[in-house]
Amino acid sequence: MKEDKAQRAVQAIEVGGRLLLALAGSQSPLTLRDLSSRSGLPASRAHPYLVSFGKLGLIEQESETGRYALGPAALQLGLTCLHQLDPVRVALPVAERLAASTGHAVAVAIWGNFGPTIIRMIDAREPLHVSMRAGTVMSILGTATGRAFAGVMSGDRIEKAMASALGDPENQKVPLLKLKAKELRDAAEELREHGVTRAEGKPIPGVNAFSAPALDHEGNAAVVITALGHQDGFSADWNSSAAQAVRDAAAEISSRLGSPSARVRS
């Protein structure tokens, strides 16, 4: 028999899954009526699924109100998923697609011992002569990548990295955060207002860049994704296609990492 190469699905699981997704998207338990409305299933059809999910521990019903919420088995699934998540593994395919769709160079950075550290550099479609490569440590306040981290990261982690990068001993008379307070506020405001940080012709002459952080389930910056290109073919406008593509890429990674929202440091 010729093997059917098309993937076969179980419709009942897809239908029931709509109930679980509706509960996952709610901040509070839902009535059967609300569940029916959000999942697009008549209450009479939804109820048997809820009974079965209840037996599996995926949902539970409040005895006093009759409302439904996700159960302990769903919590265990979520925790296991978070434990297995590797932000870099999640980010790299998104970065590859961003580079392929835009033609621009794309960098992925994590926060290392000395601050923003490039772990992957994907070349542009057209030659772009930049010195960024895996292992390059970026300036925290002098690059779009660094400011994207600074816009969402706690002050103590920023100061520690800045001090290490400068070879700054612990007896620094004036805290670095105090010296750089305005620049840090500006980075946070830039990210809050535009969803990305920007570099225009510096620190790399003739090269523009947009960066955005991808947040994990706790709202921490897991990675920063950056697109960059020559000024003549890479608009620095906040509403440019490159800026939007970086926003979308960061949002996709954040969603995959379980981020509830794009929170930025105030």
Would you tell me how many other CB atoms lie within 10 Å of the CB of residue 160?
16
**Cα–Cα nearest to 145, from 208, 210, 91:** 210
Residue that terminates a domain, selected from 49, 67, 83? 83
Within a domain: 154: yes
- Asked if 121 and 188 sit in the same domain, the reply is yes
- Asked if 109 and 241 sit in the same domain, the reply is yes
pLDDT at residue 133 is higher than 90: no
- Asked if 95 and 175 sit in the same domain, the reply is yes
Q: Are 230 and 117 in contact (CB under 8 A)?
A: no
pLDDT at residue 202 is higher than 90: no
Beta strands in 137-202 (DSSP E): 197-200
User: How many structural domains comprise the chain?
Assistant: 2
CATH code, domain with 27: 1.10.10.10
Of 24-33, 37-46, 59-68, 252-261, the one with minimum mean pLDDT is: 252-261
pLDDT at residue 251 is higher than 90: yes
- Asked if 69 and 113 sit in the same domain, the reply is no
Within a domain: 100: yes
Quick one: pLDDT band at residue 112, thresholds 50, 70, 90?
A: confident
